[in-house]
Amino acid sequence: MRKSTYRIIVLLILALTGLALAPLSTAAAKDETFPKIIPLPNGFQPEGIVVGHGANLYAGSLASGAIYRADLRTGEGALLVPAQPGRVAVGLDFDRRTNFLFVAGGPTGAAYVYDANTGASEAAYHLTGAGTFVNDAIVTREAVYFTDSFRPVLYRLPLLAGGKLPDQSAVKDIPLSGDFVFVPGAFNANGIEATPNGKSLIVVNSARGELYRVDPATGHATLIDLGGGSVPSGDGLLLDGHTLYVVQNFLNQIAVVRLDPGFASGEVVGTITDPNFRIPATIAGFGDRAYVVNARFNVTPTPDTEYEVVQVPKR
């Protein structure tokens, strides 16, 4: 083969390779532009976060019950739900079928449902009376479950076909039993997740640093054996396959727990820390990233107190 012909073939190969790789390189470059820090409004007092459709992130306000929506790609956002008199927003979850946001109402004893596109209020449910703290929520195909940090119960809101909302009369208390240990005067059941088939729930007890696998029908809790490990100050949970991420708020870290296929045992295999953590509360996932919201529980909130969401890589 003549050198000139060889040179032409090599140039063609390089050109074609470059064309093939260009979209991937561009995508990778765009991928890297996702901001590390997403600011929230000053004085917002966030606690719960969840990712919805696309790259939409939602955060709720303990102070006013407002919901803030941000774009993970740009970090820009605005209030979706304005301040709601008499309402509080703690843990959040999202139903992809209906585009509904489910919000735990903390000391109000209520749960709220909003349209994630428009911010319209879809429903409000009375779960329990005063003196309790409805903390977190998880949506399964059949129901939404809420934890209560001051009572050893879960609240079940059954969903109708396609995720449609039921009447108030459908709300049910499910007492936690089995291995669950309730510590009076402390924060107990906090973050909640569901296994992929929805047949088991995973609940963290903040006071004891324990994880439980819970039967959603009966409330029977089985301690997840961590081989001597524990997750003290456990708050929000994120289950990705058989890896459970447990936010440990006052420890300023996320515990990484590898669970066995039956979710009966596991091991704390590491922690994720970041200098930007300022008492993170809850966690949401987007691809190979995790997003945690800084609740800053260690400072007295003012209208000027700064809050943010921090992005970290999963492990």
What pLDDT digit, counting tens, does each position of 269-311 carry?
Answer: 999 999 999 999 999 999 999 999 999 999 999 999 999 999 9
What confidence score (pLDDT) does residue 32 get?
A: 56
pLDDT category at 31 given cuts 50, 70, 90 is very low
What pLDDT digit, counting tens, does each position of 218-273 carry?
Answer: 999 999 999 999 999 999 999 999 999 999 999 999 999 999 999 999 999 999 99
The CATH fold of domain 37-313 = Methylamine Dehydrogenase; Chain H (2.130.10)
Tell how far CA 15 is from the center of its chain: 44
What confidence score (pLDDT) does residue 12 get?
A: 35
What's the length of the chain? Answer: 315
Q: Give the range among 20-24, 35-39, 122-126 with minimum mean pLDDT.
A: 20-24
pLDDT above 70 covers a percentage of the chain that reads 90
